[in-house]
Amino acid sequence: MRGEFPALHQSVYEDTPLVYLDNAATTQKPQVVLDRMARYYAHENSNVHRGVHKLSQDATDAFEEARQSVADLINAPSSDQVIFTRGCTESLNLVAQTFARPQLGPDDTVVVTHMEHHSNIVPWQMACEATGATLKVWPIHDDGTLDMEAGRQLLAEETFLLAMGHVSNALGTIHPVASIIDTAHAHGVPVVIDGAQSMAHLPVDVQALDADFYAFSGHKMFGPTGIGVLYGKYDLLDGLPPYHGGGDMIDEVSFDGTTYADLPHRLEAGTPHIAGVIGLGAAARFVRELDHEAVHAHEEDVLQYAHEQLAAIDGLRLVGTAPEKTSVCSFVFDDIHPYDAGTILDRLGLAVRTGHHCTQPLMERLDLPGTIRASFALYNTRQDVDRLVEGLDRVQTMFG
Amino acid sequence: MRGEFPALHQSVYEDTPLVYLDNAATTQKPQVVLDRMARYYAHENSNVHRGVHKLSQDATDAFEEARQSVADLINAPSSDQVIFTRGCTESLNLVAQTFARPQLGPDDTVVVTHMEHHSNIVPWQMACEATGATLKVWPIHDDGTLDMEAGRQLLAEETFLLAMGHVSNALGTIHPVASIIDTAHAHGVPVVIDGAQSMAHLPVDVQALDADFYAFSGHKMFGPTGIGVLYGKYDLLDGLPPYHGGGDMIDEVSFDGTTYADLPHRLEAGTPHIAGVIGLGAAARFVRELDHEAVHAHEEDVLQYAHEQLAAIDGLRLVGTAPEKTSVCSFVFDDIHPYDAGTILDRLGLAVRTGHHCTQPLMERLDLPGTIRASFALYNTRQDVDRLVEGLDRVQTMFG
Amino acid sequence: MADASSTIDERARAIVDDFSLFDDWIGRYEYLIEIGKKLPPMDDALKTDATRIHGCQSKVWIHTARDRDRMTMQGDSDAMITKGLAGLLIRVLDDQPPEAVREADLSFIDDIGMREHLSSTRNNGLHSMIEQIRTRAARLAESAEPASDSAVSSSNA
Amino acid sequence: MADASSTIDERARAIVDDFSLFDDWIGRYEYLIEIGKKLPPMDDALKTDATRIHGCQSKVWIHTARDRDRMTMQGDSDAMITKGLAGLLIRVLDDQPPEAVREADLSFIDDIGMREHLSSTRNNGLHSMIEQIRTRAARLAESAEPASDSAVSSSNA
Ligand SMILES: Cc1ncc(COP(=O)(O)O)c(C=O)c1O
Ligand SMILES: Cc1ncc(COP(=O)(O)O)c(C=O)c1O
């Protein structure tokens, strides 16, 4: 498995083998994804959807096959419900601008949880600000789980929309989205799921979840940068006004009035990120063909092992100890700044992230300046955890 | 030169060597661009701007170097004025949504030319529709040049904004944008230039042009897909409200109110298309290092030769015969449908585009169902034109 | 225009046989153009939005109607190749039971070297033509009531 | 805290000499941390928005003031490495003429193996610290009028 990911096999600072533990920020890419994109650029590169010539057809076929691969991965009823965007952030903004903003008014409420990523907060703040609607916050417990009772109350009030993550990028908490969506729907509240952190770790079935919208990024699921997905229920997507105007999204353009194309093209203006889409298709197939049980068991084992090893370190405190977690270990030292720890770990070849992880409201809630976060993917091992523990030992010696 | 572009060296339909004449749709990529992206994915892949670790620093350094390379290419006063978008279409929508829409009212007018690409029409239609403003059309002559007298009148009326292409993708006309911008500014009208078709052919100096905004796509200037640029004057960009909300574009996020980062980050929410930016930087350096005079002379020669050869064909009519043109030959047959011609040319290895080229209003104005368009880049040769002429001969035999 | 007693498969096989006489794509395309030229002219009054096949660079119309238990077809296009493709479909599917049309195996298009036109994304409309014809056939097959020609063709809108 | 009679370059050279005693990065970082620890404590009252250096993961404050023709500096950070970096700058730049600070060649940072902190994009603020100090020095150098300490530090906002 590790052999398939070229970026894992390198040293930093001359001779220190890299241990990549920043997978929640972005994952490395398997060779099949890189090869697929290289093939596109060397043999198929051409604009899609409009050409009669061979390259354009090949590119278009590959492009639409990729859309189907993504639809298959998330079990979308139709590939027309897979809208390509630049990334999860754009997907969420798209929903905020075209679904929420035209419907929101001063009496409406949008609910987000206290542990959302900025990308799932700011778009809603902007939509609320533009319309006078109110943004309400679903509170959390200290361990990084949602306060379910408070959430039920919020949903029972007149709520226009719930936007929440599937998995927390800062703490790793897996939220019980299926049952939350059930509850929300019982109150007539549609739900937008930020799936940025789930795709690389969990099987996602948008129909089983009954999600109204589901957003994610390619680069966090072994795919290329610059590409993401917005899945939506057909009728919801079909009801959206156009988002960007331009080539490909139109039926007929005239100065007397323009008519728009059908889904998915209506929401994809301009030349798309063709190489990115095709690469994402390869990543979707890569994920789909994994032995899910084995991968899940392995990831669980590494996470469990990391928890145990880290918990045993004096002066270190795990942040986020929900019973349902995946692949993220956030922690702090009593008396070492995360930045100091991160800097020394970096010199030891350990790529971890430190800081607020784009969840400032969560950090404020937990009264932390930030955390040190080790986030794993299927290619990480117990040995990587051992390297991390050795590194933390060194950090403590240096700052002790 | 041709040797640097791997996609040019292939055959289609088993044994027919490809002649790629669809460069206005997208250009092929030189090996330096592909290698740079491959290096990113194999050695630097990591999220930018937030990490203390080595990979993240390397990726961020490369990312911001690429921004500088693009700034250098267009002579932007500062790299902070280079905003990365998905492509030219998104750049134009960004200006329409954040610059025009908040300021437009029912008494305002936006002007576009009759030969704009849909991507430079529909965003303005949408902004006008949302605000009650009026979209006015700058008329053209039959040869594909602008009616300058009519344009001066439009600019003298109360006009909020002029949006126009630098080079027409359908006809190849080079518009005298520098002097038009002068005139517009004399009337206090800011100008948005759609530079999609200029970057691969003309030196572009945004300061010399005094353009207020300048938009273009990477994939049409030998760069990767999924990446584009919006350049703007500093004060104009700095005055824009945030566009997308999310990671990277914020200063501080709190449920009491969010503050935003400085340019360029404020307008770049979420994980950017890192590989695309870095690839675009390589493309910008590739273009900058060209021997511009030699390239220009070569492109002129090929275009001139193509004009002569095609004009000599009985029953064929050139569409777009402006004195100032670059690298696009559009034409029709008296009695052969463009689609028929394009299909046969394709089988002969000639990748041309047929149809309306995303300029339906222009086609309607010229009373054509579409054209056959051969568009050249610096790697095309007289031999390619000869192949095209042979192909057209075959087309005439088959449909004669 | 086609022999009503032959089945769809028989007609498709005949077409494959005809095309197999050519050993290069030029011959095959010339023959396809011939097929287009031989297509009986379509009444201009039938070239309406209801019969227009969308999603093509060229204009294409296919008019379908019921004639007792059969489905009849006429077609035209302003591009010759598209007209030839319409002609192929009409040769094979005209005057056949709608149930058969709905289920028809049209893989002969691949066998005659016109595979590129089958790409769902080629803007030529063969794919759209087939989709539209199948949809209309399905509607005819399902509607128990005998519909008049005009009723059927207007329901194509 | 620094010897006012030595020049910026002399002080920088002394630091490079100190650091050259270590032959691995661990020694150098430990020494950097030492430098931070030896930094004279900064009065909490000076830790304001006006003295805060933004764009860092850790909190950093640098207070600058004029003392006749010299520019004086105090600094602190909640992270030790950042504090060490602030300490380095203060060792070299404290109590020097603002003109010299504005023009100072700070390449010694590269020479002591702390090059990674010079990346404009590393969120540690060394780059921001240098920028801020230079801006303030330029302002001091240009302002003809003798400014009081507080006026200078509040104009840093
Ligand atoms: C003149 C012109 N403007 C705008 C565009 C839109 O560019 P993109 O599709 O890369 O967003 C194009 C290309 O299709 C073009 O040719
Ligand atoms: C939970 C979560 N949501 C949203 C995002 C935004 O994704 P992107 O930056 O790829 O748009 C991220 C990643 O940064 C994330 O972790």
**Cα D22 to Cα D26, D31, D118, distances in angstroms:** 8, 9, 20
Give the pLDDT confidence score for residue D60 in this predicted structure.
Answer: 93
Going by their DSSP bridges, the two strands B16-17 and B11-12 should be labelled as: antiparallel
Distance CA B33, CA B222 (A): 8
Nearest to B276 by CA among B13, B33, B6, B19: B33
Q: Is the CB of C30 inside 8 Å of chain B's CB atoms?
A: yes
Give the pLDDT confidence score for residue D121 in this predicted structure.
Answer: 59
Instruction: Compute the C-alpha angle A141/A146/A150, nearest 5°.
Output: 90
Residue D80 Cα, gap to closest chain A Cα (Å):
6
Q: Which helix (H) or strand (E) holds A11?
A: strand A11-12
If one looks up domain A33-288 in CATH, what number appears? 3.40.640.10
Task: Flag if A86 and B270 touch (Cβ within 8 Å).
Answer: yes
* Residue of A217, A273, A353, A375 with the most ligand 2 atoms within 8 Å of its CB, for mutation: A217
Q: Which helix (H) or strand (E) holds B110?
A: strand B109-113
Q: In chain B, which residues fall in CATH 3.90.1150.10?
A: 2-22+291-399
Q: Ligand 1 center to residue B26 CA distance, Å?
A: 9
Q: Which helix (H) or strand (E) holds A109?
A: strand A109-113
What does the radius of gyration of chain D's CA atoms come to, in whole angstroms? Answer: 15
Among the ranges given (C153-157, D6-10, D79-83), the one the predictor scored with the smallest mean pLDDT: C153-157
Query: Under a CB-based contact definition with an 8 Å cutoff, are residues A307 and A329 in contact?
Result: yes
Q: Is the CB of C82 inside 8 Å of chain A's CB atoms?
A: no
Residue A332's CB: how many other CB atoms inside 10 A? 21
Query: For B355, which of C57, C80, C81 is closest by C-beta distance?
Result: C57
Atom of ligand 2 nearest to the CA of A87: 11
Q: In chain A, which residues fall in CATH 3.40.640.10?
A: 33-288
* Amino acid of residue D14: A
Distance CA A247, CA A265 (A): 10
Give the pLDDT confidence score for residue C149 in this predicted structure.
Answer: 44
Distance CA A239, CA A245 (A): 16
Exposure string (b/e) for B148-172, b if CB count within 10 Å is 16 or more? eeebeebbeeebbbbbbbbbbbbbb
Query: Under a CB-based contact definition with an 8 Å cutoff, are residues B117 and B196 in contact?
Result: yes
Higher local confidence (pLDDT), C116 or A93: A93
Q: Under DSSP, is residue A25 helix (H, G, I), strand (E, B) or coil?
A: coil
Distance CA C81, CA C78 (A): 9
Residue A87 Cβ < 6 Å to ligand 2: yes
Residue A271 Cβ < 6 Å to ligand 1: yes
For C79-98, what is each residue's pLDDT tens digit?
Answer: 999 999 999 999 999 999 99
Paired tokens of B61: 């350094």
Residue A113 Cβ < 6 Å to ligand 2: no
Paired tokens of A49: 């959807």
**pLDDT(D150) > 70:** no
Nearest to A114 by CA among A361, A309, A280: A361
Rounded to 10°, the helix C8-19/C80-93 angle is: 140
For residues D31-44, give the mean pLDDT.
95
Q: Under DSSP, is residue B169 helix (H, G, I), strand (E, B) or coil?
A: coil
Give the pLDDT confidence score for residue D157 in this predicted structure.
Answer: 32
Q: What mean pLDDT is reported for chain A?
A: 97
Q: What are phi and psi of B222, to 5 degrees?
A: 70, 15
Phi-psi region of C89 (alpha: psi -120 to 50; beta: other; left: phi over 0): alpha
Residue B49 Cα, gap to closest chain D Cα (Å):
6
Give the pLDDT confidence score for residue B19 in this predicted structure.
Answer: 98
Distance CA B134, CA A32 (A): 50
Task: Flag if C29 and B338 touch (Cβ within 8 Å).
Answer: no
What residues in B contact C85, CB-CB < 8 Å?
none
For A111-148, what is each residue's pLDDT tens digit?
Answer: 999 999 999 999 999 999 999 999 999 999 999 999 99
For residues C126-151, give the mean pLDDT.
76
Q: Is the CB of C119 inside 8 Å of chain B's CB atoms?
A: no
Give the catalytic positions of B in this structure: 358
For C61-79, what is each residue's pLDDT tens digit?
Answer: 999 999 999 999 999 999 9
Q: What mean pLDDT is reported for chain C?
A: 85
CB proximity list for A319: less than 8 A, separation 6 or greater: A144, A171, A330, A331, A332, A366, A368, A371
Q: What are phi and psi of D54, to 5 degrees?
A: -90, 170
**pLDDT(A33) > 70:** yes
Residue recorded with tokens 């399902």 = C142
Q: Which helix (H) or strand (E) holds B122?
A: helix B122-131
For residues A308-325, give the mean pLDDT.
98
Going by their DSSP bridges, the two strands B328-333 and B316-319 should be labelled as: antiparallel
Q: Is A358 a catalytic residue?
A: yes
Query: Under a CB-based contact definition with an 8 Å cutoff, are residues A390 and A16 in contact?
Result: no
Paired tokens of D37: 């620890």
Beta-sheet strands, E only, within A174-282: 191-194, 213-217, 228-232, 250-252, 259-260
Q: What are phi and psi of D146, to 5 degrees?
A: -70, 120
Query: Under a CB-based contact definition with an 8 Å cutoff, are residues B152 and B183 in contact?
Result: yes
Q: Is the CB of A119 inside 8 Å of chain B's CB atoms?
A: yes
Phi-psi region of B130 (alpha: psi -120 to 50; beta: other; left: phi over 0): alpha
Q: Is the CB of B32 inside 8 Å of chain A's CB atoms?
A: no
Q: Under DSSP, is residue A3 helix (H, G, I), strand (E, B) or coil?
A: helix
Distance CA C23, CA D91 (A): 86
Task: Flag if A57 and C121 touch (Cβ within 8 Å).
Answer: yes
Give CA A151 to chain center in angstroms: 22
Give the pLDDT confidence score for residue C142 in this predicted structure.
Answer: 86
Candidates C121, C123, C127: best to mutate against A (most CBs of A within 10 A) is C121
For A50-86, what is each residue's pLDDT tens digit?
Answer: 788 999 999 999 999 999 999 999 999 999 999 999 9
Give the pLDDT confidence score for residue D4 in this predicted structure.
Answer: 57
Give the pLDDT confidence score for residue A123 in this predicted structure.
Answer: 98
Shortest-distance ligand to the CA of residue B174:
1
Question: How many CB contacts within 8 angstroms connect chain B with chain C?
Answer: 37
Q: Under DSSP, is residue C76 helix (H, G, I), strand (E, B) or coil?
A: strand
* Amino acid of residue B253: V
Nearest to C75 by CA among B57, C88, A53, C66: C88
What residues in B contact D123, CB-CB < 8 Å?
49-52
What does the radius of gyration of chain C's CA atoms come to, in whole angstroms? Answer: 15
Residue recorded with tokens 């991160």 = A342
Q: Ligand 2 center to residue B270 CA distance, Å?
A: 7
Residue D127's CB: how many other CB atoms inside 10 A? 18
**How would residue C116 be classed by pLDDT, with cut points 50, 70 and 90?**
confident
* Amino acid of residue C18: D
Query: For C57, which of B336, B344, B370 is closest by C-beta distance?
Result: B370
Strands of the A191-194 sheet, one edge to the other: A82-85, A228-232, A213-217, A191-194, A161-165, A109-113, A134-138
In this complex, the chains that touch A, judged by 3 or more CB pairs closer than 8 A, are B, C, D
Query: Under a CB-based contact definition with an 8 Å cutoff, are residues A222 and A272 in contact?
Result: no
Give the pLDDT confidence score for residue C121 in this predicted structure.
Answer: 59
Q: Ligand 1 center to residue A239 CA distance, Å?
A: 26
pTM of the model: 0.95
Distance CA A365, CA B306 (A): 68
**How would residue D149 be classed by pLDDT, with cut points 50, 70 and 90?**
very low
In CATH terms, is domain B2-22+291-399 a member of 1.10.10.10? no
**pLDDT(B135) > 50:** yes
348-387 in chain B: CB under 8 A from chain A = 350-355, 358, 360-361, 364
**pLDDT(B260) > 60:** yes
Atom of ligand 2 nearest to the CA of A217: 10
By CB neighbour count within 10 A (0-12 exposed, 13-18 middle, 19+ buried), where does C145 fall? exposed
What residues in A contact B355, CB-CB < 8 Å?
50
For residues B313-318, give the mean pLDDT.
98
Paired tokens of D67: 């003392």
Paired tokens of B90: 């998104």
Residue recorded with tokens 């840093």 = D156
Residue recorded with tokens 């290698």 = B35
Distance CA B8, CA B28 (A): 8
**pLDDT(A276) > 50:** yes
Q: Is the CB of D82 inside 8 Å of chain A's CB atoms?
A: yes
The DSSP secondary-structure symbol of D43 reads P
What does the radius of gyration of chain B's CA atoms come to, in whole angstroms? Answer: 22
For residues D43-72, give the mean pLDDT.
91
**How would residue D55 be classed by pLDDT, with cut points 50, 70 and 90?**
confident
Beta-sheet strands, E only, within D18-133: 60-67, 70-77
Give CA B333 to chain center in angstroms: 27
Q: Ligand 1 center to residue A21 CA distance, Å?
A: 39
Task: Flag if D80 and A340 touch (Cβ within 8 Å).
Answer: yes
Task: Flag if B61 and D123 touch (Cβ within 8 Å).
Answer: no
For residues B375-388, give the mean pLDDT.
98
Q: Provide the percentage of residues in chain D whose pLDDT is more than 70.
A: 84
**pLDDT(C9) > 80:** yes
Distance CA C12, CA B399 (A): 25
**pLDDT(A289) > 60:** yes
Nearest to A326 by CA among A223, A254, A220: A220
Q: Ligand 2 center to residue A217 CA distance, Å?
A: 7
CB proximity list for A399: less than 8 A, separation 6 or greater: A333, A335, A336, A340, A341, D33, D80
Taking an 8 Å Cβ-Cβ cutoff, which residues of chain A contact chain C? 48-52, 54, 57, 60-61, 63-64
Hey, what domains does chain D have and what are their CATH numbers? 8-156 (3.90.1010.10)
What residues in A contact D79, CB-CB < 8 Å?
337, 339-340
Q: Which helix (H) or strand (E) holds B134?
A: strand B134-138
Query: Under a CB-based contact definition with an 8 Å cutoff, are residues A132 and A106 in contact?
Result: yes
* Residue of B117, B193, B221, B375 with the most ligand 1 atoms within 8 Å of its CB, for mutation: B117
Residue B69 Cβ < 6 Å to ligand 1: no
Query: For C80, which of B347, B370, B399 is closest by C-beta distance?
Result: B399
Query: Under a CB-based contact definition with an 8 Å cutoff, are residues B135 and B106 in contact?
Result: no
For A330-350, what is each residue's pLDDT tens digit?
Answer: 999 999 999 999 999 999 999
Atom of ligand 1 nearest to the CA of B88: 11
Query: Under a CB-based contact definition with an 8 Å cutoff, are residues A5 and A381 in contact?
Result: no
Q: Which helix (H) or strand (E) holds D142?
A: helix D126-142
Give the pLDDT confidence score for residue D152 in this predicted structure.
Answer: 41
Rounded to 10°, the helix D80-93/D25-38 angle is: 70
Distance CA B287, CA B300 (A): 17
What residues in A contact D57, CB-CB < 8 Å?
338-339, 354-355, 370
Candidates C29, C52, C80, C122: best to mutate against A (most CBs of A within 10 A) is C122
Torsion angle, alpha carbons of A210, A212, A213, A214, to 10: -10
For C23-55, what is each residue's pLDDT tens digit?
Answer: 899 999 999 999 999 999 999 999 999 999 887
Instruction: Compute the C-alpha angle A78/A83/A85, nearest 5°.
Output: 160
What residues in C contact B337, CB-CB < 8 Å?
58, 78-80
